Structure 1
Amino acid sequence: MAALDTTRTTTGSFGLVGRIGVTFASVVNAVVEWNDARVTRNVLNGLTDRELDDIGMCRGDIDLVAEGRL
C-alpha cells in the first residue's frame, strides 16, 4: 500500500507555484487512492465465496471495502 503525506502545510508558497504544488499533490493522492482501491478489489475478487465468508464478507461488500466505506 502506498502512502502519501498530505498533512504538511506550505510555508509562504501561496502564489502560482504553491497552487500548482497543491494541485499536483491532489492529483497524485487521487491516483494513489484509485490504485489502492483497484488492487484491493482485484485481490478480494480473486477469493472464493468460502474464503470471503471466512473473513465475514460477501461479494456485495467488495466495492464498499475497496472504497473504504465499510
Structure 2
Amino acid sequence: MAALDTTRTTTGSFGLVGRIGATFASVVSTVAEWNDARVTRNVLNDLTDRELADIGLCRGDIHQIVHGHR
C-alpha cells in the first residue's frame, strides 16, 4: 500500500515551486489511490465464490469495496 504524507503545513504563500510541488503530490496521491484500487480489485476477483463468502462478500460487493462505499 502506498502512503504519501500530506499533513505538512506551510506559512505564507506557496509560490510557483510550492504550487508545482503540491500539484506533483496530488498527482502521485491520485496514482497511488488508483493503483491500490486496481490491486484490491484484482485480488478480490481472483478469489473463488466460496472464499468471498468466507469473508462475507459476494462478487457484486467488489465494486463497492474497491471504491470505498462499504
**TM-score between the two structures when normalised by the length of structure 2:** 0.91
List per-residue Cα deviations over 1:14-50 (Å, max 9, x = no partner).
1111110110000000000000000000000000001
Do structure 1's residue 4 and structure 2's residue 4 form an aligned pair?
Answer: yes
- Distance of 1:27 and 1:10 partners within structure 2: 20
Structure 1: tracts of 5 or more residues without a match: none
Q: Partner of 1:68: helix, strand, or coil?
A: coil
Deviates more, 1:10-19 or 1:52-61: 10-19
Aligned to 1:54: 54
- With 56-65 and 30-39 compared, the bigger mean Cα shift is at 56-65
Deviation at 1:11, TM superposition (A): 4.0
> Aligned letter for 1:10?
T
**CA–CA distance in structure 1, aligned partners of residues 23 and 55 of structure 2:** 38
Aligned residues: 70
RMSD: 1.2
Q: Which runs of 5+ in 2 are unaligned?
A: none
